[in-house]
Amino acid sequence: MRVGLTGGIASGKSTVSALLRELGAVVIDADALAREVVAAGTPGLAAVVAAFGNEVLTPGGELDRPAVGRLVFADAEQRRRLEAIVHPLVFERVVALEAEAGPDDLVVHDVPLLVESGRAATFDAVVVVEAPHDLQVQRMLEDRGMTREDAEARIAAQATPEQRRAVATHLVVNDSTREALAARVREVHADLAGRLPA
């Protein structure tokens, strides 16, 4: 069973992802794969350097993410060039990881922008992690050192809670303790596991 997992910034999605992994789900993290396919020494990094030049490398030969960010976020054409290199490589890894999963496995795709990318319908179920707005802001200020203005801008740039709820088959509200969150994730996992084909 293919499950999409999503949630707003600082909603607790990474914690839910880790809890699902502990419960035996196969978790495929899109962001981690995007970093993996352009790691030092990979064909992906070589392709990025061929497209954008050596200025996208750190002195140690790693991808200089801030430098790439400056190049692509101000220029849609450059962003499309980068995506044309990275997205097929990520897709290839996703397909390989799904193929390794057993027929009885829950395969959870951790996709931050699942709603924004219009991909919710490609999954058998969608788990949405949600936290109250003020709590999201507080977490970003305390845990990530952001300014309130930056935190609000990040939240505003993402899908609204209503848009996420509209595609959710399972809602996880993260507004209390870690124990309460873990209990809710166990409920969701049990329900999803119960839907696996016999």
Element (H, E) at 52: helix 43-52
The residue ranges of DSSP E strands in 65-169, in sequence order, are 107-110, 125-130
Burial 20-54 (b: 16+ CB within 10 A, else e): beebebbbbbbeebbeebbeeeeebbebbbeebee
HSE-up of 69 (CA within 13 Å, CB side)? 3
Establish whether 13 is an annotated binding residue. yes
Establish whether 11 is an annotated binding residue. yes
SS3 180: helix
Instruction: Quickly tell me which residue has 């290839």 as its tokens.
Output: 92
Establish whether 117 is an annotated binding residue. no
- Taking the C-alpha atoms of residue 30 and residue 53, their distance in angstroms, rounded to an integer, is 25
In the annotated binding site for ATP, the residues are 10-15
In the annotated binding site, the residues are 10-15
